[in-house]
């Protein structure tokens, strides 16, 4: 293996381990664990990731709501794509990378805001997290429910298209 391939394989392993840690932390989240939004705690930590896992899960659920459960899968996907396309890394298309990053943000914003207006809250967090709540609250007064949902679906599917390259006309 070349040096670049070794670094990319190490990146794949690190992103996989990080994804597993975040996923286990989210799945074993307990609102009573000491974390960013919990103070005055006495007792044992129930989170599989320990104190760090409790903080990570709390911050992700606070910020993104249900969409936080997709973040570990994105870590695995990014690690795999980087490892699989080693030969293309040296001749990187910065426009494509930029469009994928913009697409990921659009999909994240769309999914969070859609979760915020369509699903019940989890624990004491909003279903869409703070990000989804702010976006939905900003759009609802001007577009009402149907217009906001249509715009957010457009954000989400545009983001998915930019990230994956899927053409919805050929599906």
Same domain, 81 and 100: no
Which neighbouring-strand residues pair with 71?
none
If asked whether residues 80 and 4 sit together in one domain, one would say yes
Is the C-alpha dihedral spanning 145, 147, 153, 155 positive or negative? negative
Helix residue ranges, H only, the chain: 3-27, 50-64, 71-84, 86-89, 94-118, 129-164
- Same domain as 171, residue 103: yes
Q: Mark whether 44 and 116 lie in a shared domain.
A: no
> pLDDT per residue over 85-105, tens digit each?
655 655 677 888 899 999 999
Residue that terminates a domain, selected from 67, 87, 107: 87
Q: Are residues 159 and 107 located together in one domain of the fold? A: yes
Quote the CA–CA distance of 157 and 154 in Å, as a whole number.
5
Which among 24, 54, 87 is the end of a domain? 87
83 and 39 assigned to the same domain: yes
pTM for the structure as a whole:
0.86
The reply to whether 11 and 51 lie within a common domain is: yes
User: Which domain range does residue 40 map to?
Assistant: 1-87
- Domain co-membership, 164 together with 105: yes
Note the pLDDT of residue 9. 83
Per-residue pLDDT reduced to its tens digit, 20-42: 999 999 999 988 888 888 876 66
| Domain co-membership, 39 together with 114 | no
Same domain? For 79 and 157 the reply is no
Mean pLDDT of all residues belonging to the chain: 89
- Shared domain check, 83 and 1: yes
What is the per-residue pLDDT across 124-139, written as a single tens digit (0 to 9) for each? 788 999 999 999 999 9
**Number of compact structural domains in the chain:** 2
Last residue of a domain, one of 87, 112, 130: 87
24 and 74 inside one domain:
yes
């Amino acid at each position: 293996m070349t040096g670049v391939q070794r670094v990319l394989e190490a990146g794949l392993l690190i992103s996989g381990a990080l994804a597993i840690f975040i996923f286990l932390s989210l799945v074993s989240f307990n609102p009573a664990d000491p974390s960013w939004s919990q103070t005055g705690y006495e007792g044992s930590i129930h989170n599989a990731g320990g104190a760090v896992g409790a903080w990570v899960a709390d911050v992700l659920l606070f910020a993104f709501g249900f969409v936080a459960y997709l973040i570990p899968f994105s870590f695995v996907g990014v690690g795999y794509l980087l490892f699989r396309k080693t030969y293309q890394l040296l001749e990187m298309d910065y426009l494509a990378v930029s469009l994928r990053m913009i697409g990921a943000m659009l999909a994240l914003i769309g999914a969070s805001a859609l979760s915020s207006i369509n699903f019940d809250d989890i624990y004491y967090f909003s279903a869409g997290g703070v990000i989804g709540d702010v976006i939905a609250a900003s759009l609802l007064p001007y577009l009402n429910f149907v217009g906001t949902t249509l715009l957010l679906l457009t954000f989400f599917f545009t983001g998915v298209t930019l990230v994956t390259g899927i053409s919805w006309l050929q599906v």
